[in-house]
């Protein structure tokens, strides 16, 4: 299973020494991030080169991921010659997470499932998630205890605290240009077109 809850992975295997060691490892890796990052304006978008700079990826990766439906811009897609994609803060956060998962050897298939899972989350929820992986599966942890359980049980070889990534992206974008999205670029969350777009994406990545 590509993304599953970390809860209960090591039930019945409680070892105080191993648990304390796991807690120390989690602290050293910055996985116990419990701050609530500041919310950014939802109507600010970022063009492709800015998204690349903030996420630490190449334009070729950005373009390929958009064309294959892995991470698409949610503010404005490229529509014809001369049209510029416009990425939201959340999009760039996911781009950076995808880059880190790829760098650690997680398969693209598992990453697609993880990205779809993150899409279904509210923006505020993302900051409280730590993704753990053993290089094969990706586990979602929403508490310090779940992170420690996975590290103690051996499932968590590495982790990504999304709250920490959020802060990194926020810091990068503070020095990069953004632009306010036009009214026609934004689609209300309950708009029928939004549901159709989700269904099209689901067909592409299924």
82 lies in some domain: yes
154 lies in some domain: yes
Cβ pair 148, 31 in contact under 8 A? no
Lateral strand order in the sheet of 158-161 = 3-5, 138-141, 130-133, 158-161
Per the structure, the count of domains in the chain is 1
Per the document, the length of the chain is 206
pTM confidence score:
0.73
Tell me which residue range forms the domain holding 56. 41-181
pLDDT of residue 160: 86
102 lies in some domain: yes
pLDDT of residue 193: 40
The token pair at 106 is 């997680």
CATH number for the domain that contains residue 137:
1.10.1660.10
pLDDT of residue 82: 60
pLDDT of residue 150: 79
Running along the chain, 206 residues long, what does each successive block of 10 average in pLDDT?
46 63 65 64 87 96 94 85 83 94 88 86 77 82 82 73 89 89 52 44 40
129 lies in some domain: yes
Tally of CB atoms within 10 A around 183: 6
């Amino acid at each position: 299973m590509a993304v599953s809850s970390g809860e209960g992975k090591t039930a019945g295997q409680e070892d105080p020494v191993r648990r304390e060691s796991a807690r120390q490892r989690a602290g050293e890796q910055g996985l116990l991030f419990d701050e609530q990052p500041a919310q950014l304006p939802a109507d600010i978008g970022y063009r492709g080169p800015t998204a690349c700079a903030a996420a630490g990826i190449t334009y070729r990766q950005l373009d390929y991921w958009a064309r294959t439906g892995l991470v698409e811009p949610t503010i404005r897609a490229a529509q014809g010659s001369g049209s510029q994609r416009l990425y939201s803060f959340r999009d760039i956060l996911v781009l950076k997470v995808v880059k880190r998962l790829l760098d650690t050897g997680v398969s693209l298939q598992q990453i697609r499932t993880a990205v779809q899972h993150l899409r279904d989350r509210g923006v505020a929820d993302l900051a409280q998630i730590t993704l753990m992986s053993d290089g094969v599966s990706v586990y979602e942890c929403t508490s310090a205890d779940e992170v420690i359980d996975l590290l103690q049980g051996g499932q968590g070889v590495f982790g990504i605290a999304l709250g920490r990534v959020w802060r990194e992206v926020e810091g990068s974008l503070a020095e990069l240009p953004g632009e306010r999205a036009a009214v026609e670029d934004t689609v209300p969350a309950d708009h029928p077109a939004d549901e159709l777009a989700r269904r099209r994406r689901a067909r592409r990545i299924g």
